[in-house]
Amino acid sequence: QVQLVESGGGLVQAGGSLRLSCAASGRTLSSVAMGWFRQAPGKEREFVAAINWSGSSTFYADSVKGRFTISRENARNTAYLQMNSLKPEDTAVYYCAASDGYFGSSWFHYNYWGQGTQVTVSS
């Protein structure tokens, strides 16, 4: 089992930056892919970014490409999402997730989820 805890959310003005962290316990993250997803009120959960087990491969949703960066530190059992040039439409609850054997953008393939952290971007 893997327990994931997100942190780093908050209120920021448009154009600002936040860094989300996802700390894992219960098992090492070094063998799993990690993903970040978000869900705004009244909308479906959507993919944001994913990183493979070693950190050598990443990919992003078009809406965040060039603004967000996903990374991981397996030695610290932690994944990150650096968010720059934030826009009001980035407002959502952000979730990190881990997958034993899947590296992709489909949320239903991820085995473990954090509780989420709220990100609010004011205009």
Residue 2 near residue 100, CB atoms below 8 Å = no
Please report the pLDDT score of residue 26 as a whole number: 86
Please report the pLDDT score of residue 48 as a whole number: 98
Please report the pLDDT score of residue 49 as a whole number: 98
Between CA 17 and CA 107 the distance in angstroms is 25
- The residue type found at 75 is A
Please report the pLDDT score of residue 31 as a whole number: 82
Between CA 102 and CA 55 the distance in angstroms is 14
Maximum distance among all Cα pairs of the chain, rounded to whole angstroms: 40
Please report the pLDDT score of residue 104 as a whole number: 93
Please state whether beta strands 10-13 and 117-122 pair in parallel, antiparallel, or not at all (unpaired): parallel
Please report the pLDDT score of residue 1 as a whole number: 80
Please report the pLDDT score of residue 82 as a whole number: 98
Please report the pLDDT score of residue 101 as a whole number: 84
Which residues, in sequence order, are bridge partners of residue 13? 122
Please report the pLDDT score of residue 2 as a whole number: 86
Tokens of 68: 């967000």
Per-residue pLDDT of the chain (123 residues; tens, 9 = 90+): 889 999 999 999 999 999 999 999 887 777 889 999 999 999 999 999 999 999 999 999 999 999 999 999 999 999 999 999 999 999 999 999 999 889 999 999 999 999 999 999 999
